[in-house]
Amino acid sequence: MIIDEQPEFRSLLMHHITTHWPDALIAAYDPTEAGHLPDEFSGAGNDLILLGSQHGDREGVDVLRRFSQKKGFPPLIYFGTEDDEAEARQLAPDAHFIRDRIHHKSLIVRLTDVLLSRRIVASTDSLFVGDMRTGIHPLIKGYRFIRKLGATEHSGVYLAERESAHLQVVLKVLRQVPDQNDSIGAFDRFLQEYETIAEMDHPNIVRIYDLGVSDDHAHIAMEYLDGGDLRLQIDAGVGHEKALAYLRQIASALSAVHAKGVLHRDLKPGNIMLRSDGSIALIDFGLAKRARLESEITDKGEIFGTPYYMSPEQGHGNGVDERSDIYSLGVIFYEMLTGEKPFRADTAMGIIYLHAQAPVPLLPARLAEYQALINMMLAKSPEDRLQSAAEIEEWL
């Protein structure tokens, strides 16, 4: 959870976090817009609290003092100024930085150290260490391990074979950490991702085969998409006809997602996979959220996603709806057509600024017929965009 009144600073911290931990779920809280957090705020459900020094009419060190005195409060990282540095260090937060002198590597190393010291980071490397002659882990019966694909702080991702069907699947395995405050929160988010995707029966959304739960593990078995992600296609070059075909499929999938009242909120080429037959499938609904659920206190002013693909309203922590996903898809369409992102800057704040203020870039003359669609998808105001993913299909 990131707490500070400046949206640009919150977005900067979010960019540092998601660059290293792409699956991180971030709640960004503005104490001037949403009001100061109440005295009973315990920070429960968060791995880290990143506390900035800007809190409107309150001094940052006063807020730091109040939080640091709470028993059982999550690890607290303070981003202050040179003026309050001495006082802040006396309060002994878990880590301390000067807010205008943040370096990515040192920040990530320090945050990792804090997480490890609190034993929050859970390794999933040992999930498949059972009988390596068969590759079957005793806690995940029925699956033969093939290789590890990746990992986050709470889960591991593996290629495995479902023995009953001799079917290759991707296993996403959550490691439950005993006696950790965030274990239940991570478990709930894990199940929410499964439930979100499992409700979707659509050819352009990843298929879910199984959910399993044991005493200290949960797993999702999902379709193995062996065609790589859309990033690889863009790097290799996507012709305009193929870009249109991909756009139609992604828009169709979004229509189904939005019809369920769900926003994806992290639509980007890395979350769009290809099958061997060339068809598209949306994956990674870890940031998805039901649009109709009421936000809890820690959800006010939240910022999710990746800056290159964020809508203006998402980048500034404002409310989002289906039209924010449409904007992200517009960015992807532009990138498929040209091989370039529409907005580039040296910092996350710079990219967010350009999304909100810079004019929609012009396509090369050979692609001019798609300019009107790009304009309608990348309009700064949601009211000026296409209003639904179905309208993209109708326009095409």
Catalytic residue positions, numbered: 266
Return the beta strands (E) in 43-142 as ranges.
Answer: 49-52, 54-55, 58-59, 76-80, 95-98
Question: Residue holding tokens 């929160």?
Answer: 185
> 320, 263 in Cβ contact below 8 A?
yes
Rounded CA separation 177/168 (Å):
28
Burial group, residue 20, by CB count within 10 angstroms (0-12, 13-18, 19+): middle
Tell me how far CA of residue 333 lies from CA of 135, 242, 250, 277, 376, in angstroms.
Answer: 41, 11, 10, 21, 12
Length of the chain: 396
What residues does 145 pair with on adjacent strands? 160
312: Cα within 13 Å, side-chain hemisphere = 17
Helices (H), the chain: 7-20, 60-68, 85-90, 104-117, 183-198, 230-236, 240-259, 312-315, 322-338, 348-357, 371-377, 389-395
Nearest in space to 140 (alpha carbons), one of 113, 116, 165, 160: 160
Could you tell me the two tokens for 129?
């260490």
Alpha helices in 94-182 (DSSP H): 104-117
5: alpha, beta or left? (left if phi > 0; alpha if psi -120 to 50): alpha
User: Do the beta carbons of residue 375 and residue 334 sit within 8 Å?
Assistant: no
Could you give the CA distance from residue 10 to residue 2 in angstroms, rounded to a whole number? Answer: 6
The Cα 343–Cα 67 span in angstroms is 38
Contacts of 322 (CB under 8 A, 6+ apart): 254, 258, 263, 291, 387, 388, 389
CA pair distance 85, 249, nearest whole angstrom: 52
